[in-house]
Amino acid sequence: MASENAEFLAKWHRLVQERDLVALEKILAEDVTMGAPPYWDKLKGRTVVGHLLGLIIRTIEDFTYHREWHADSRGEGEIALEFRGHLGELKLQGIDLISLNDRGELQNLDVMIRPMNALSALRDIVAPQMLEFLRKNAV
Amino acid sequence: MASENAEFLAKWHRLVQERDLVALEKILAEDVTMGAPPYWDKLKGRTVVGHLLGLIIRTIEDFTYHREWHADSRGEGEIALEFRGHLGELKLQGIDLISLNDRGELQNLDVMIRPMNALSALRDIVAPQMLEFLRKNAV
């Protein structure tokens, strides 16, 4: 594993585990982009992406990371992390595709979740809160 | 990259590219399992999983692979592959989480797709065909 990846992951796992969303936001690039599971267009910016990450992590019950993969060819800065959890009785499995920048910050994150009933339930909880946040902060 | 992974991927990419679904089925373990994007319960068995893979690959337009990751800790036999494509105007991005067995065959495949409108459209096309196949073959 490239040392850049290892350093980022040590921070990431600790901050997610501790639900320390203030510190988590600081390891996002200022112009970070995120492809959320339900939508195609990317969200942009540290504040917006940080807020959405917080909502997802707090909404999925028993959110825990499992398998981990690293890019082979380009080597540094490309990581895939599997997570699992549930929403009530709806079990889910997801993936974080993480790209780091030269400074070791999260530059792009694409998130996918299966199955569809859990994804749909997650969206129904998170999307209204996210819209409210965007409206209040006019970002 | 572990040689087992490299050998599998060389075959996999060639067979997917050529849409050679007969040969593709042969590199699935006989008791292969697959977590399809819309459902939680796994599909089981070479014939069933092979058929679903064929339907997915043929239904997604311009289906192509992009980034590739390998497991670091356990090393061999754990691969993540990103694919992209579209259904008409609906763009999509997905991930194949591949676990190989000792014989280098595909033992488990979990597939996730974003965004939700493309996933939903894919399911609406594939699910009825898959049900028809299961009914006819009584598997």
The string of DSSP codes covering B80-92 is: EEEEEEEETTEEE
User: What is the chain B residue with the closest CA to A92?
Assistant: B40
- Residue B66 tokens read as 């992009």
Instruction: Name the β-bridge partners of B103.
Output: none
CB contact under 8 A, A70 and B69: yes
User: What is the chain A residue with the closest CA to B42?
Assistant: A115
Report the alpha-carbon distance of residue B131 to residue B55 in Å, rounded. 12
For residue B75, give how far its alpha carbon lies from the nearest alpha carbon of chain A (Å): 9
User: pLDDT 10s digit of each residue in chain A, 139 long?
Assistant: 578 899 999 999 999 999 999 999 999 999 999 999 999 999 999 999 999 999 999 999 999 999 999 986 556 789 999 999 999 999 999 999 999 999 999 999 999 999 999 999 999 999 999 999 999 987 6
- Residue B139 tokens read as 């598997």
Q: Which amino acid is at A48?
A: V
Q: Say how many Å lie between the first and final Cα of chain B, rounded.
A: 36
CB B121 within 8 A of CB B91: no
CATH number, domain containing residue B96:
3.10.450.50
For residue B78, give how far its alpha carbon lies from the nearest alpha carbon of chain A (Å): 8
* Tally of domains in chain A: 1
CB B28 within 8 A of CB B49: yes
Q: What residues make up the domain containing A66?
A: 3-137
CB contact under 8 A, B116 and A114: no
| ipTM of the modeled complex | 0.93
**Chain A residues within 8 A (CB-CB) of chain B?**
1, 35-40, 67-73, 78-80, 82, 90-95, 97, 110-120, 123
Q: Is the pTM of this model over 0.80?
A: yes
E strands, A52-137, in order: 61-71, 78-87, 90-100, 106-114
